[in-house]
């Protein structure tokens, strides 16, 4: 998530990047809670 934040911050500014990352996190959390799924760490190949 940090890499995505800094990528967005470079292009759009820190405040807009912060809101975009917060939106992404809330979307993920909502989907997890509505499906009653536990958090899974992303698999790094």
Task: Encode pLDDT of 22-36 as tens digits.
Answer: 999 999 999 999 999
Percent of the chain's residues with pLDDT above 90: 76
Task: Report the run of H or E that residue 4 belongs to, with start and end.
Answer: helix 2-12
Q: What is the pLDDT of residue 44?
A: 81
- pTM of the entire predicted model: 0.75
Residue 41 has pLDDT above 90, yes or no: no
Which stretch of DSSP H or E encloses residue 15? helix 14-35
Q: What is the pLDDT of residue 39?
A: 82
């Amino acid at each position: 998530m940090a890499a995505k934040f800094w990528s967005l911050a470079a292009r759009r500014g820190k405040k807009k990047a912060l809101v975009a990352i917060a939106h992404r996190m809330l979307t993920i959390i909502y989907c997890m809670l509505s499906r009653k799924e536990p958090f899974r760490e992303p698999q790094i190949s």
